[in-house]
Structure 1
Amino acid sequence: MTKRNTLIDFSSLSEMLYGEEKYISEFSEAAVDSFTEFNNNYKKFLLIRDETSFRKAGHKIKPVAQMLGLDQIVEEYEHAKTLLWDEKPDEDLEKSVSKIDSICTKVITELELRIK
């Protein structure tokens, strides 16, 4: 197994989309919107402890994250749910928000570079 410098597994994406650059670009553009929305909703709903809306945001991004090999997003989302269930302090929620923001920012940058 080789270590890659990117978070996204573009080889799997290319394989799923038959290597068609047009489809990869279209998917990447849609994914930028999806990860931007997820990042915003993750912060908004986690910090106000709105579990229902938070779960909707997570369920919406989970399939896309899994297709792109972004296990760290799924893992942090699952961790954040336990933070809510265990009624952890705001500081713990803010750490999770910061982690997701950092990951999503890198993912969006990688997707935008692929679109160009």
Structure 2
Amino acid sequence: MRHALLSIRDRLDRMGVVLSALCAVHCVLGIVFVSVLGLGGRFLLDPRIHQIGLALAVLVGLVSLGFGVLRHGRLGPLAIGAIGLGLMASAILSGHGLAETVLTVAGVALVATAHIRNLHRAA
């Protein structure tokens, strides 16, 4: 049973890294497509995409990073992830534009770093 839980946590950490990367790509490409090409503004800038993405990031982050603390006893990955999630939430509140992009990319970079550190700490 313990091995199964560790496997699930590892998968969630890996999913967190992938979701972080997808979020950063969406953010950067969204700015490029809308600003430069004038394409996809209605879909790419839909607030629901950002709200759902943040909800997924919070869910995956709390479960995997929380289990990580229980497993290895280190709060660092959880703290880094929390700061990243805070930046991502700030991005949603800032409205569309450069500030949103910078906050989102910084936030997802921290969340991905937290998941990677969580994986390494548990090894």
Superposition TM-score, scaled by structure 2 size: 0.57
Point out where structure 2 has 5 or more consecutive residues left out of the alignment. 32-43, 66-77
Determine which of 32, 43, 55 is the counterpart of 1:59.
55
8 Å contact 2:84–2:110 — kept in the other structure?
yes
Counterpart CA distance in 2 for 1:112 and 1:65 is 12
TM-aligned CA deviation for residue 80 of structure 1: 1.1
Aligned counterpart, 1:102 = 109
1:34-72 per-residue CA deviation (whole Å, 9 max, x = no partner) reads 331244135515744321111111111212323423321
Question: What percentage of aligned pairs have identical amino acids?
Answer: 6
Q: CA RMSD in A?
A: 2.8
* 1:49 lines up with 2:45 in the alignment: yes
Aligned counterpart, 2:94 = 83
Superposition TM-score, scaled by structure 1 size: 0.60
Counterpart CA distance in 2 for 1:42 and 1:28 is 21
TM-aligned CA deviation for residue 79 of structure 1: 0.6
What amino acid maps onto 2:90 in structure 1?
Answer: H
Determine which of 8, 26, 36 is the counterpart of 2:8.
26
Counterpart CA distance in 1 for 2:20 and 2:51 is 11
Higher helix share: 2
